[in-house]
Chains A and B, each alone.
Chain A
Amino acid sequence: NAGVTQTPKFQVLKTGQSMTLQCAQDMNHNSMYWYRQDPGMGLRLIYYSASEGTTDKGEVPNGYNVSRLNKREFSLRLESAAPSQTSVYFCASSEVLRGLFSSGRIGSGDTQYFGPGTRLTVL
């Protein structure tokens, strides 16, 4: 199993350009997430998809769109890139959105798995 894969690993854009970050998981997980990580800050949730066919905004959704293409794939699109979107982007997946916590037994089997990240620079 590859787990969570992301493409590309690195990308440089000019202001105003668009691009799509790809993410795929092979663990048959229902829920998928996009985060960004900036220096001096923790990971912040951009968008998530609780299950195939649904997407919802996270903490910092402005300037992004997402598509849950199927159960395996969840893409993040920047329509008009801005320097403020320079960041490292992580995709993650989990079995379900709330199953871990409702069981009350964290670490009992469900957890959140992260991809290796995409380092994006917007000039």
Chain B
Amino acid sequence: DQQVKQNSPSLSVQEGRISILNCDYTNSMFDYFLWYKKYPAEGPTFLISISSIKDKNEDGRFTVFLNKSAKHLSLHIVPSQPGDSAVYFCAASAGAWDDMRFGAGTRLTVKP
């Protein structure tokens, strides 16, 4: 039973445009949400996160939005750059690294 779902396996956008990656979760105990970025042949790296007390968190070109009532979060990348091409994983936790659950990932391709 996947508690964190990323329903779009892939997304392709033009350089300079906005990329929007979506994630849904089912467990109402989740309080912390993270996005990881993964390049081929490398491990995931932490990108940005948000706690349930907020509905938005911004870091440069990356913004994460949280809609608790809909159990939905999204990652916005503006403007998108070719170097952003990677697999993005959404993850959620109820309070510790050991109970974190990951989505299946979305492969983002940013075309020059």
Contacts and interface: CB of A to CB of B under 8 A. Distances in A.
Interface residues of B, number: 31
Contact of A58 (B44, B93, B98): B98
Interface in B17-55: 31-32, 34, 41-46, 48-51, 53
Contacts of B46: 107, 111-113
Given A106-B51, A112-B46, A42 B98 contact: no
Contacts of A115: 43
Contacts of A27: none
Contact of B104 (A40, A48, A98): A40
A117 B103 contact: no
Contact of B102 (A43, A50, A102, A113): A43
Interface of B: 2, 4, 9, 31-32, 34, 41-46, 48-51, 53, 59, 89, 91, 93, 95-98, 100-105
A107 B48 contact: yes
